[in-house]
Structure 1
Amino acid sequence: MGEQTLDLQHSLRAFLARFPCRGRRWLALSGGLDSTVLLHLLVSEGEPVCAVHVHHGLSANADDWAVHCAELADALGVPLVTRHVSVDAGGGIEAGARDARYRVFSSLLQAGDQLLLAHHGDDQVETFFLRLLRGAGAQGLGAMRGCRPLGAGVLLRPLLKSSRSDLEAYAREQELDWIEDESNRDARFDRNFLRGRVLPLLSERWPLRQRVHRAARNLEESADLLRQLADLDLESCQRRPERIGESVSLERFLALRPERQRNLLRSWSASLGGVWPNASQLAELAQQLCADGDRLPAVSVGRMVARRFRQRLFLTPSLPAVPPRYSVTWSGQQALRLPGQGSLAALPGWPGGGYRVAFRHGGERARPLDRQHSQTLKKLMQEYALEPWLRDRVPLIFEGERLLAVGDLFLCDGWQGVAPLALPDWRPLAFFD
């Protein structure tokens, strides 16, 4: 057995010992060299693993790759899950494919699960230079982490201390077959241009993998300090959960220096949506927040949306559109899935029956149970401090034409039930399997 094989086995055992798995261990299997080697190593070490292959449909050979992965997993006695995805190439094919993969990974992971990716040290070098050329700060230049949260589980990269040549030596020794993605030779893609033309030239003069590893480790320390500062600032700004997303005190946020505002937003957005906002998004938000106080800006921040309401700065998911004339029957017993990823469920005390659930379309009036007079729904929602971006998606519950309840805000004068505690449980953004 070769020295490199022994080193890989020892390195993998040491890494997995640091991160014991309390649930299911998944491996992202593309069928290429890296993931093939990692799968073979895991099986050789007797580590239970399930493989997941993401079929992007971008190559004419994609179906053949899926078949290859199925045959490889079967030969090694490993369960395999294959997921087909659609890639949004609006921000570039590479970024779109990555986003599609990670959505699949996040959906698979349950509490205690791990996802293993086969990124190695050469990938780390490429990622470092790609982020450097895109103008990344300390958080980005800290490069790929060996462990980070993903969905309900964690993402692990056990091969970051190994090189591609180490993996090739192992694959040759074990007589493994793997896929060569033809797109890896296309120099139109930034990563391939770096890999094929730039980094080999730099490697002739400097030991890039060792130097980048050292720089990334130092930058990671700086990034950790920035995250700690952001956590302190979020606490001082009275961070709190909302119906969807979270909010902070706008007054306290604006009292921070601009660089600390940007640092807070980067960390806050990443903690909720997993993506750092870019410089133009942060500049746009700063401009909007300095505008007239009656305005309600909605500015993209990473994958989230920043909004202002009642002296609070909100960070929410992007809200899907809802149909303008939505109306559906409801038994009052089973949970009801609403358009725009919301849900409605009856709490104990709510009687079963034949109800109609609709959204507001303008001009409706209601009289809360404890009031003497009716008012417009628009005014009542303002009074109940419902965020403006949720007012057109709060479910209105009717019995015939009689309005009984407005979401979980209030019961109306037509209510004949047992107690106000019977209000339904309305969740404006809920995800279903």
Structure 2
Amino acid sequence: MTEVTRHLLETLRTALRGQPAAGRLWLGYSGGLDSSVLMRLLVEAEIPFTALHIHHGLSAQADAWLAHCESEATKLAVPFVAMKVAVDRKRGGIEQGAREARYTAFAHKMDTGDQILLAQHGDDQTETFLLRLLRGAGVLGLGGMAQHRGIGAVDEGKSLLRPLLGVSRAELEQYAAVNELRWIDDDSNSDIAYDRNYLRSQVVPSLRSRWPLNARVAQAAENMREAAGLLEELAGEDLCRCGLRREPFGSSIDLPIYRALSAPRKKNLLRGWLAGMGAQMPEAAHLEQALSQLDARDDAAVEVHLGERALRRYRDRLYLTPQLPRLKSTAGESEWFWDGTATLALPGGWTLSPSPAWPAGEYAVRFRNHGERARPRERHHSQTLKKLLQEYGLPPWLRDRVPLVSRAGTLLAVGDLFVTAEGPPKPPIWTFLD
């Protein structure tokens, strides 16, 4: 066994011991040098896994690459799975769109507790650090690629591991030569129109001739991750100080306390809040826009979009919610039948379920038409539904989505807010599935 083989195998085993998979082990196998080396190392270490190839369809050679990967996996008796994906070029360009499509496919294929291995190495980490630096990233971005992190929904326990992040491409090339590996050379990797390729061929060699670049970048990235961890702790403390509370739709904090924070802490809190909801980080310009709009006059209707989330303001509370899709008034869909026993799916991700005392029956469910009146059971007089929704503290952005439950033309309940004299003892359960 050569020294480089011994070193790579020990690196792989150490990484897997440190972050063991609770379920099945996968390999993200593109057919390139890096993933070809990692596949052979896994076989040599006698570690069971399944090779997963993502067919992006971006190259005329994509079908040939898939065939190559399947052939190589078969030679090594490695289980092989291929998935075709559609790349959205509008999501940050081809590279970013392909990456998002790839990671979405990984998460879709994996089961709870599964782990996928990716073959990025130290040179990739250096390029990522420099790219993010040149794009003006903050400390979190400059922390580079994490060796281990979750993937997909937080509660599913799926994870991603990069066991070779501490080794160089030169070591992988040496191993590939000794073992006479066959791999794919993607011709797009030489196109310097792509930022990463430009850095790799035009910038990094010059830097590396003067400094031990990978080692310096690895140290800087570690320092940045440490700083990012401290900022995450501060964001958590500030969220608690601001009275973070879970809402039926999103979550909210105390706006006056938030406003008393310094501008950097406001932005840091927003980043931590978004991260806690599993949202993508917005660009710095979008955060600045959010801060400026939140300082608008108190009676202004504020709605700031931050990726897939939105910041809204109501009654001295700042809300972070999912985006609200536009409701469509389509004939035949303005009213829904409900039997009072099953969960009824409503437009926009909402559901209506029976409360414990809710009886089975034939109910009609619809949204507001405006102008309705209602009388909650505990009141002597009816009022406009508009005024009642205000009194019950339902945020304005949900008032057109609150379900009105009737039977034989008589209003029985308004969402989970109240029931009328004719209704059951308690209103049904109105829930948003985020």
Question: Fold conserved (TM > 0.5)?
Answer: yes
Counterparts of 1:78 and 1:344, CA distance in 2: 44
Residues 371 and 61 (structure 1), Cα distance of their counterparts in 2 relative to 1, 3 Å cut: farther
Question: How far did 1:86 drift?
Answer: 4.2
The answer for the alignment partner of 2:98 in structure 1 is 97
The answer for the alignment partner of 2:196 in structure 1 is 191
SS at structure 2 position matched to 1:184 = helix
SS at structure 2 position matched to 1:394 = coil
Question: How far did 1:274 drift?
Answer: 4.0
Counterparts of 1:321 and 1:112, CA distance in 2: 36
Question: How far did 1:141 drift?
Answer: 1.0
Counterparts of 1:66 and 1:403, CA distance in 2: 60
Question: How far did 1:248 drift?
Answer: 1.3
The answer for the alignment partner of 2:233 in structure 1 is 228
Counterparts of 2:366 and 2:72, CA distance in 1: 51
2:431 counterpart of 1:427: yes
Counterparts of 2:281 and 2:103, CA distance in 1: 15
Aligned partners of 1:73 and 1:80 also within 8 Å: no
Of 139, 157, 161 in structure 1, the residue corresponding to residue 162 of structure 2 is: 157
SS at structure 1 position matched to 2:277 = helix
2:212 counterpart of 1:207: yes
The answer for the alignment partner of 2:377 in structure 1 is 369
Aligned partners of 1:329 and 1:354 also within 8 Å: yes
Q: How does 1:83-122 map to 2 (within 5 A)?
A: 83-122=84-123
Residues 98 and 391 (structure 1), Cα distance of their counterparts in 2 relative to 1, 3 Å cut: farther
2:60 counterpart of 1:55: no
Q: Deviation digits for residues 294-328 of structure 1, max 9, x if unmatched?
A: 11211123542211111111112222222235333
Counterparts of 1:362 and 1:106, CA distance in 2: 43
Counterparts of 2:220 and 2:119, CA distance in 1: 21
Counterparts of 2:379 and 2:78, CA distance in 1: 68
Aligned partners of 1:345 and 1:425 also within 8 Å: yes
Aligned partners of 1:390 and 1:428 also within 8 Å: no
Question: How far did 1:130 drift?
Answer: 0.6
Question: How far did 1:109 drift?
Answer: 4.9
SS at structure 2 position matched to 1:20 = coil
2:286 counterpart of 1:309: no
SS at structure 1 position matched to 2:365 = strand
SS at structure 2 position matched to 1:89 = coil
The answer for the alignment partner of 1:20 in structure 2 is 20
Question: How far did 1:180 drift?
Answer: 2.7
Question: How far did 1:256 drift?
Answer: 0.9
Residues 116 and 371 (structure 1), Cα distance of their counterparts in 2 relative to 1, 3 Å cut: farther
Counterparts of 2:73 and 2:373, CA distance in 1: 61
Aligned partners of 2:66 and 2:82 also within 8 Å: no
Counterparts of 2:326 and 2:71, CA distance in 1: 42
Counterparts of 1:89 and 1:358, CA distance in 2: 36
Aligned partners of 1:66 and 1:82 also within 8 Å: no
Aligned partners of 1:332 and 1:351 also within 8 Å: yes
Question: How far did 1:265 drift?
Answer: 1.3
Q: Percent identity?
A: 50
Q: Deviation digits for residues 264-296 of structure 1, max 9, x if unmatched?
A: 112221222342222211211111111110112
The answer for the alignment partner of 1:401 in structure 2 is 409
Residues 331 and 216 (structure 1), Cα distance of their counterparts in 2 relative to 1, 3 Å cut: same
Amino acid at match of 2:275: A
The answer for the alignment partner of 1:4 in structure 2 is 4
Residues 60 and 321 (structure 1), Cα distance of their counterparts in 2 relative to 1, 3 Å cut: farther
2:275 counterpart of 1:270: yes
Identify which range, 217-226 or 87-96, moves more after superposition: 87-96
Counterparts of 1:63 and 1:179, CA distance in 2: 12
Counterparts of 1:53 and 1:413, CA distance in 2: 61
Q: CA RMSD in A?
A: 2.4
Counterparts of 2:351 and 2:181, CA distance in 1: 49
2:42 counterpart of 1:42: yes
Amino acid at match of 1:34: D
Identify which range, 3-12 or 100-109, moves more after superposition: 100-109
Q: Deviation digits for residues 325-348 of structure 1, max 9, x if unmatched?
A: 533323333323322222233343
Question: How far did 1:145 drift?
Answer: 1.2
Amino acid at match of 1:61: Q
Counterparts of 2:116 and 2:17, CA distance in 1: 15
Counterparts of 1:347 and 1:26, CA distance in 2: 43
Dislocated runs of 4+, deviation >6 Å: none
Aligned residues: 426
Aligned partners of 2:366 and 2:405 also within 8 Å: yes
Residues 249 and 115 (structure 1), Cα distance of their counterparts in 2 relative to 1, 3 Å cut: farther
Residues 321 and 81 (structure 1), Cα distance of their counterparts in 2 relative to 1, 3 Å cut: farther
Counterparts of 2:368 and 2:72, CA distance in 1: 54
Residues 57 and 89 (structure 1), Cα distance of their counterparts in 2 relative to 1, 3 Å cut: farther
The answer for the alignment partner of 1:295 in structure 2 is 300
Counterparts of 2:31 and 2:381, CA distance in 1: 68
TM-score by length of 2: 0.90
Q: How does 1:330-369 map to 2 (within 5 A)?
A: 330-369=338-377
Question: How far did 1:71 drift?
Answer: 4.1
SS at structure 2 position matched to 1:427 = strand
2:262 counterpart of 1:257: yes
Question: How far did 1:111 drift?
Answer: 4.5
Counterparts of 2:74 and 2:48, CA distance in 1: 14
The answer for the alignment partner of 1:238 in structure 2 is 243
Identify which range, 229-238 or 364-373, moves more after superposition: 364-373
Question: How far did 1:125 drift?
Answer: 0.5
Q: Deviation digits for residues 127-155 of structure 1, max 9, x if unmatched?
A: 10011001112221111111223333332
Aligned partners of 1:23 and 1:111 also within 8 Å: yes
Counterparts of 1:109 and 1:398, CA distance in 2: 43
The answer for the alignment partner of 1:382 in structure 2 is 390
Question: How far did 1:232 drift?
Answer: 1.4
Amino acid at match of 1:186: D
TM-score by length of 1: 0.90
Q: Deviation digits for residues 95-134 of structure 1, max 9, x if unmatched?
A: 2222223333344555433232221111100110011001
Counterparts of 1:110 and 1:313, CA distance in 2: 36
Structure 2: tracts of 5 or more residues without a match: none
SS at structure 1 position matched to 2:96 = helix
